[in-house]
Structure 1
């Protein structure tokens, strides 16, 4: 992530890809979302899913991890170039979270972040708010996850 003034609306960042395994899906579900269709393929087969599926929160958590890793890579590049690195503030939240298709063992998803809007903070002039559309797609290009994220980013002019 760059300084607020350097961020362009429409900029896209490929965050990376992740392949979901049965073991990972079950482990996440045991720890955080123990619903039968996340824990057991036979139980999942008796639902409208027809088998084991990943928790939507698992997919969101992978998105968050890949986003943080992408920011870390960009910040490391800025440091190597001798450029200043912006502070990133907290996210004041997200909206419009949609799980569009189930994620199954063996699915590999590509994650993307696209800047959709930004505005200076009204109460904290050293910060700006950046809004992104976060998505995950399967290899066929079908979107399986989307949500609008927001993040405070340091301003140069603040």
Structure 2
């Protein structure tokens, strides 16, 4: 992210894509979401998913990883250009998490982040709050995942 003042509402950042591999999906499910349709293709085939389905939490984790990688890449570019890099604070939370369609082993999702709002922090003048809508689409362009996120971003003015 840039400094709070430089971030524009409506700005879209392409975060990249991820292909969901059965082995990684199962490993995540074993550790964090051990439901049968996340652990075995046969169990998933007996559900409305029709196959091994990724945990929604795995999809959310991939989105978080891609967002963090995009942010790190931007900050590295700013450093190379000799520019000051803003501090990014924690997220005070998210809302409207939606798993809109199942993610099946072999699916490739494309992720993006859109700035939907921003406001100065009421209690911390050195920070602003930036709200983004993180989303993913499958290979046919269908919406698959969505969440509204919020993060603290350093203000230049403070």
Q: Give TM-score scaled by structure 2 length.
A: 0.98
Q: Report the alpha carbon displacement of residue 43 of structure 1 after superposing the two structures with TM.
A: 1.1
CA distance in 2, matches of 1:152, 1:34: 33
Displacement of 1:139: 1.6
The residue that corresponds to 2:95 in the other structure is 95
Greater mean deviation of Cα atoms: 41-50 or 148-157: 41-50
How far did residue 99 of structure 1 move? Answer: 0.1
Residue in structure 1 matched with residue 140 of structure 2 by the alignment: 140
Match of 2:23 in 1: 23
Query: How far apart, in 2, do the equivalents of 1:131 and 1:27 lie?
Result: 31
Distance in 2, Cα, partners of 1:144 & 1:95: 16
- 1:69: how far off? 0.3
> For each residue in 1:80-136, what CA deviation from the matched residue of structure 2 results, as whole angstroms up to 9, or x when unmatched?
110000000000000000000000111000000000000000000000000000000
Could you list the per-position Cα deviations for residues 37-82 of structure 1 after superposition, in whole angstroms to 9, with x for gaps in the alignment? 0001111122222221000000000000000000000000000110
Partner of 1:72: 72
Which secondary structure does the structure 2 equivalent of 1:63 belong to?
helix
Moved over 6 A (4+): none
Separation in 2, partners of 1:27, 1:52: 12
Which residue does 2:113 correspond to in 1?
113
Give the superposed CA RMSD. 0.6
> How many residue pairs were aligned?
158
Which ranges of structure 2 fall in alignment gaps of 5 or more residues? none
What is the CA–CA distance in structure 1 between the aligned matches of 2:149 and 2:91, rounded to whole Å?
8
Cα distance in 2 for partners of 1:14, 1:48 equals 31
The CA distance in 2 between the partners of 1:38 and 1:139, in whole Å, is 21
Residue of structure 1 in register with 2:84 after alignment: 84
Alignment of 1:51-62 (within 5 A): 51-62=51-62
8 Å Cα contact 2:51-2:105 kept in structure 1: no
